[in-house]
Amino acid sequence: MATMTQPETGIKNGHFSPEHLPLHDLVTESTNEASQGFDTKSALEIARIINHEDSRVAAAVKKALPEIAQVIDSVARSLRDGGRLIYIGAGSSGRIASLDACECPPYFSTSPQTIQYIMAGGPKALASPVEVNEDSEELGQRDIARRRPSRKDVIIGLSASGRTPYVVAAVAYARARGAKTACITCNQNTPLAAAADIAIVAEVGPEVISGSTRMKAATAQKMITNMITTGAMTRMGYVYENLMVNVHMQNSKLVERGIGILIRACGITRERAVEVIKSAGRSVPVALVMLKAGVDKPEAVLRLTHSDNNVRVAIEDTTTEI
């Protein structure tokens, strides 16, 4: 683990002591004046208060857009070079991380090895909390070490508080081994921010129920992870215009989505879209390049190979004609 001396954040010689950043001092743990007397409210009043507080999340995320953009480009570069994006988190933050990682294969046809998640307590903790694990630096280091992080990889730690020992230690370990590191947190000046190369901080403020960071904080983390992977996939060319062209057609819904993409992108009939998708081997990118560039399947496949599967570049390429 990297040697760092930052007493104000609680990290010293690679170790983090939670007492250096007391939980009660965090904004996410403080009392929200807008929800005083919450337990006396009607159902409609409860919903209105939560909705009003949720409306603040997008504004908090907006302030972190420059850092989010840096991470998007880092992830896109890493994946192009054969690296991985690995999320690591605990509790609600870990569940948000797992959700984003698991949704990339069906939406963008990535492999499960390309975008991964590590959850404190393992996969069983997704449904049955194993919260004690998040206090262990050793387990955090062990779990990330098993993935052998390298200079090709991007490691993103998620922690609403920014002080979770498991996550802080894992990010610091990965950074010491040359991986590009980032974090997503909801408090300023935290050990996790100090451990990462890039700190994404969405200050959503106090929760409606004090300390219930599955609410605004988790919503912010979900918004940010969505931005990171969607942005990276788009930068890699897996989106054409605003269409999800790298969709993997594994069920009837996704087949219909693929057909609809061709209809909208190329202005063709459904019958023509079905015909081309079949001739393209049920690949939307291949079918789209065939239609847009006016080429046959072998040429479309060659163009996509030469462009690292960037659909727009493959369509516009004029150097690979057979």
Known catalytic residues are: 103, 134
**Alpha helices (runs of H) in 55-136, residue ranges in sequence order:** 57-62, 65-80, 91-108
Provide the phi-psi class of 56: left if phi over 0, else alpha when psi is between -120 and 50, else beta: alpha
Distance CA 186, CA 199 (A): 10
The Cβ-side half-sphere exposure at 30, using a 13 Å CA radius, reads 12
Instruction: Give me 134's structure tokens.
Output: 């998040």
Alpha helices in the chain (DSSP H): 43-54, 57-62, 65-80, 91-108, 137-145, 165-176, 191-195, 216-235, 252-266, 270-279, 284-293, 297-306, 311-316
Query: Which residue, 128, 193, 132, is CA-closest to 158?
Result: 193
Rounded Cα distance, 28 and 114, in Å: 32
